[in-house]
Structures are given as C-alpha cells and as structure tokens.
Amino acid sequence: MTQHAPLSDIRFDPESEGAGFDAAFIAIEVARLLHEGQTDAIREFLESQELADIAALIDELNDGDDLDVLRLLPLHDQAEMLGYLRPRAQVDLATRIPRRELVALMTAMSHDERADLFKQLDEEAQEAILPALSKAEREDLRRLAAYEEWTVGSVMTSDYAVLKPEMTTSQAIEALRAQAIEAETIYYAYIIDEARALIGVVSLRDLLTARPRQQVAEIMDTEPVWVRADDEQEEAARLVARYDLLALPVLDNSDRLVGIVTADDAMDVTEEEVTEDFYKSSIVQPLEMSVADASIALLYRARIFWLVLLVFGNIFSGAGIAYFEDTIAAHLSLLFFLPLLIASGGNAGTQSATLMVRALATGDVRPADFGRLLSREVLIALALGLTMALAVSLIGVWRGGPEIALVVALAMVTIVLMGALIGMCLPFIFAKIDRDPAAASGPLVTSIADVLGVIIYFTIAARLLEL
C-alpha cells in the first residue's frame, strides 16, 4: 500500500524556482484527500498557509476540486485569496459559483477588487448579481466600474478611513478602531468637511503621539498630495513612488474625496506598465491575459503585424545592395564586413533608445531636454564609433588591404553615429506626437538602422574605391 506524506509536513517555498512544481505536487495530494473525504486535513493545512500560496494551489486544481477547496476557507479569506488569482481564473470560478455564494463572496471582497471582477463578468452575470447587493454596495460597484481602464479611478478603492477636523485625537483613534474592519488601510486617515471635500490627512503615528485632547485639525497635513480620478493611473503610481506614500487620496472634479490608491495597487500599475513597455519594445501588441492562457491565434495576432511590416521595410536593404552590385562585384571582401557594420549600427541604436525610453518614462528627462542630450549623444556616439573603427580596421587590412580598411573604418564611425542618433531621437519624436516612447522599439530602430547602414557603407565604398 502506498504511503503518503502527511499534508501538514508539506510547505510552499516561494523563494525556490520550483515553487510552481510544489504547487502542482500539493494539488495532487489535496485532490486525493478530497476524494477520500478528508476535508479536515485539508482545512488544517490551509490554515497554515499564506493566501497567495493557496491561490497558487487552487490554480493547479481541476474544475470542481478548486471550488471545494475554496469553500473550506472562511468567507473573508475566500474574498482576499480571490484577489491573488489571475483574472481569467477569477472569472472561471465566478461563473461556476452559485449566485447566492457569489454575491456573499463579492460582498466580502475589497471594493476595488470587487469592481475589477464585476467588469470581467459578462452582462448576464452582472445583471444577475446587482439586484442581490445592497443599495449602497450596488451604487459603489457601479461607480467604480464606470471608470475607464486607464484611469486612476479604475485602480482606486473606496475603502478608506475618514475623520472630522473637530475630533480630538482620542476620538479619532476610537473612530479608526470602528472603521478598521472595512477600511483598506487606517495608517492614513482623511479629514473631510460636510461636502466630502478633502481638507487634510493625518497618519496613525501622529494621532498616537499627539496629546489626547488635541484636535485633529491641529496636527493634520493641510496640503496632502492627491490625484484626480480621471488622471492616467501611471500618475498615481508615480506620486506614490516619489513621495513614499502608503496611500494616495483621489478626488473628483468637484474636489470631493472619492477613493484612495494604495501602495500595493500602485505597484500593480507599475508592473503592468513595465510589462506593456516590454511588449512594445519587442513590437508585440500588449496581451490582456497571461501568455500561458493566451491562445495560439491570439499570440499570432499580437506578433504578426509588425513582423510583416518590418519585412517590407527590410526590402529597402536588399534594394540598396542591388543598387551597388557593381561595387560589390569588384570588391567582394566588402561583404565580409556587412553583417558586422549593420549589427553595430543596430546595437548602438538599441542602446540609445533603451536609455531614452527609460529616462522619459521615469521623468529623468523631458522633451525640452532634447537639444542638450542630442549634442551629448553625438560626442558619445563618435567616441564609440572611433573605438570600434580602430578595432575593425585591423581586420580590414588583413582581409582587403588598406583601402578596404579605410572604407570599413569610416563606415563604422558613420553607421554607429547614425544608429545612436536614430535610437535617441525616435523616443522623443513619439513623445512629441503623444505616442508611448516605448513604441520606439529595438526592432524598429534596428530595421531603420539596417537600411541606412547598407546605403552608408556602400556609398562610402563606391566613392573611395572608384577614385
């Protein structure tokens, strides 16, 4: 008879590269215990695990088993754990949960995660859920779900703590204690007037260190950092990072407090933006799901447009070679250096583009800095080109003699300079026309540099070698 290790002896190892394997292994053991009816053993195991690890386990279970394990958790833990699942897994579970259970689960979720899940459900499921919610929850859900995906409002939560300015610090601490269950965070409390206009913010630390009878109005910060609900969500992430905030208040166009963006949500925004920039830098259309969940057709569509476009762009390289075929036929040694020179221009351009895209994204440089940076890039590119030309000219003497070495050296300097300037200028051009500078990708820069590199190389060769 096969002996199984007790489930209580198994632990996730988040630091290990094999964490995914561990989740799959545990899923097999959990499924066995489920089928044997040993739910108490599973429940005991779940109590000792972090919710993020339980989400990884549920993601590995088969349909039916995942729902059974979910139901072994307390309702509050179910709601919090759901936020760790991938969007598609959330929707899959939501569509298989009976409506009454789903309503209870969504009621227990944080306001922002509940709105995110609601927006992913189909219209029929949304219409089935709304009537079962309380009026306040229904209105809050509709309001949060109404914001466009790219706005601050789409990532904010309406779970925040509020205080009145006339409260004493003792009264404020008692008020925070009462709000702690519902609020996303109580480290920051927001002071509002009767019209819900934001007039200040106070930290829990300030309340605890102040005198008991001191009024909140005396210790609050009357000029807090804030953001508009219809601003781009990247602005909220930038402010949270710049000022090291745990939460950022969000105001509507009437200056009323409508929500907060917490640091973890800001980190999610930053991760999404970095992911999107990675896609754009590789000329891949952004995916709205994980690569593991994406279909072959979706991955094909995400990649084919730019690849085909660049194929036609590179035809100009072939046309350039064909135009100089007489020069090439007379000096076949020129072909030996063609891949080397073209690659050098593309590499220099990609380096410059990467530096400028990152600098523009972080605010390290602005479009107004273009002139100053251009002159500096010219000097850097010339220094790089001359160094590389010196190295390659030695090979040129060996392969084709002094004349070929001179052609290759001059071409190297010119091509590296050209590639670096293209790589630097494109992100600024994209920013100027209100396009994401990340779209000035490596493949795009390389394709342009390839065409111009061929023309530059053989033009210099034709002029020097035919003298």
> What is the dihedral sign for C-alpha 371, 410, 418, 354?
negative
Same domain, 358 and 316: yes
Question: Could you tell me the CATH number of the domain that includes residue 397?
Answer: 1.10.357.20
Q: Is residue 287 a part of any domain in this protein?
A: no
| Measured distance CA(250)–CA(298) in Å, rounded | 36
d(C-alpha 309, C-alpha 323), whole Å: 22
Burial profile 133-167: b = 16 or more Cβ within 10 angstroms, e = fewer? beeebeebbebbbebeeebbbbbbbbbbbebbbeb
Q: Tokens for 311?
A: 């194929």
- Asked if 23 and 110 sit in the same domain, the reply is yes
For 326, the token pair is 């007489």
- Please indicate, yes or no, whether residues 232 and 366 belong to a single structural domain of this protein: no
Residue 2 falls inside a structural domain: no
300 and 431 housed in the same domain: yes
Cα atoms found within 13 Å of the Cα of residue 163, Cβ hemisphere only: 32
Q: Domain range spanning residue 318?
A: 296-465
120 and 190 share one domain = no
Q: Residue 29 is part of a domain; what is its CATH number?
A: 1.25.60.10
One digit per residue, the tens of pLDDT, for the chain of length 467 reads 344 445 555 554 544 444 444 677 788 888 888 888 888 888 888 888 888 888 888 888 888 888 999 999 999 999 889 888 888 888 888 888 888 888 888 888 888 888 888 888 888 888 888 888 888 888 888 888 888 888 999 889 888 999 999 999 999 999 999 998 878 888 999 999 988 899 999 999 999 999 989 999 999 999 999 999 999 898 999 899 889 999 999 999 888 999 999 998 888 888 777 776 666 666 556 666 666 666 777 777 777 776 777 677 677 777 777 888 787 787 788 888 888 888 888 888 888 888 888 788 777 788 888 888 888 899 999 999 999 988 888 887 877 778 888 888 999 999 999 999 998 898 888 888 777 776 666 677 888 888 888 899 888 988 888 74
Pull the structure tokens for residue 344. 């050098």
Q: Is residue 290 part of a domain?
A: no
* C-beta separation of 259 from 250 below 8 A: yes
**Residues 304 and 267 both lie in one domain:** no
Structure-block tokens of residue 129: 């859920």
The reply to whether 103 and 244 lie within a common domain is no
If asked whether residues 126 and 93 sit together in one domain, one would say yes
Q: Does any domain span residue 363? A: yes
Q: Write down the pLDDT at residue 361.
A: 73
Kind and range of the H or E run holding 251? strand 247-251
Residues 98 and 232 placed together within one structural domain of the fold: no
User: What pTM did the predictor assign?
Assistant: 0.66
- pLDDT for res 183: 82
Do 120 and 32 have their domain in common?
yes
Query: Measured between alpha carbons, how far is 22 from 10 in angstroms, rounded to an integer?
Result: 9
CATH number at residue 230: 3.10.580.10
Q: How many domains does one find in the chain? A: 3
Q: Are residues 327 and 365 in the same domain?
A: yes
- In the listed set 251, 281, 311, which residue is the last one of a domain according to the structure? 281
Domain boundary among 281, 311, 343: 281
Clarify whether residues 42 and 138 are in a common domain: yes
> Is residue 120 assigned to a domain?
yes
